[in-house]
Amino acid sequence: MSDSGIQTERQSAGRERWLPVITAVFVTSLIVSNIIAVKLFSIGPVILPAGVIVFPISYIFGDILTEVYGYARARQVIWIGFGCNLIAVAAIMVSIYLPPASFWDIAQLGSGTLTQRAYAAILGFAPRVLMASFVAYLAGEFLNSFVMAKMKIATQGRHLWSRTFGSTLVGQLADSGIFISLAFFGTVPTAALLTLIASQWLVKSAYEALVTPLTYAIVNFLKRAENRDYYDYNTNFNPLIWGGEARETGGRP
């Protein structure tokens, strides 16, 4: 790596002006996808949760985080997303158990009746499904970022499309496989489980492939704006630590 491409942690930290924006988009897509996931829709024979509209965005921005800022920054944002999602879930659950006002419970909403039961049914989470979602999120996001970082070194920073798509294939397979297995094993036939896993994995991966031009545009903009192009040569990839950023942050080897 050239001398001009080496920055200290202090110097590189000053060029993260867009990191809060990327973090906000990542966290927002995660929380919104969990809220709307209760709605199921079908495309031909394939049945998918509405969260698939938004959730892949978290993987796209996870790729962007790792590519531009490195695994350590991506790890921090993944944990921030986990914490924010936990707060959102806790707030929703508390709101469900709050005693409803009598006039609210029978209030008219359009042609229907807004009831406590409907509110709980729409926004509530089954404990098993909730736990499956949390475990799948952490496994999928960390695998996605890890594969992205390792492939960047292996490809010497070339062929961004191969890294974004390859990391998504691994991360989304883990996410879909873990979530559906933990949430529905024993309640639906094994063949149906495998179909659900395969359909979600393929749809989410196709989503990533379709937005590759947008990913390229954002990555190129951020690298110029932040003057960063991170290579995780000396990074500690332990997902359970907070810091651990390596010193070599810029330039191509």
Largest CA distance in the chain: 70
Q: What is the pLDDT of residue 10?
A: 35
Full-model pTM: 0.84
Burial zone of 230 (CB within 10 Å; 0-12 exposed, 13-18 middle, 19+ buried):
buried
Token pair 């390596």 in the structure block, residue: 246
CB hemisphere CA count around 76 (13 angstroms): 14
pLDDT digit string, tens, across residues 162-206: 999 999 999 999 999 998 899 888 888 888 888 888 988 988 889
CATH class of 7-103+112-226: mainly alpha
pLDDT digit string, tens, across residues 109-138: 544 455 777 888 888 877 888 898 999 999
Q: What is the SS3 assignment for 46?
A: strand
Confidence of residue 104 (pLDDT cuts 50, 70, 90): low
Confidence of residue 245 (pLDDT cuts 50, 70, 90): low
Any idea where the domains of the chain sit in the sequence?
7-103+112-226
**Beta carbons of 81 and 30 less than 8 angstroms apart:** yes
CB atoms within 10 A of CB 222: 24
Lowest mean pLDDT among 59-73, 134-148, 234-248: 234-248
Asked whether residue 45 carries a pLDDT value surpassing 80, the answer given is: no
Token pair 């149906």 in the structure block, residue: 192
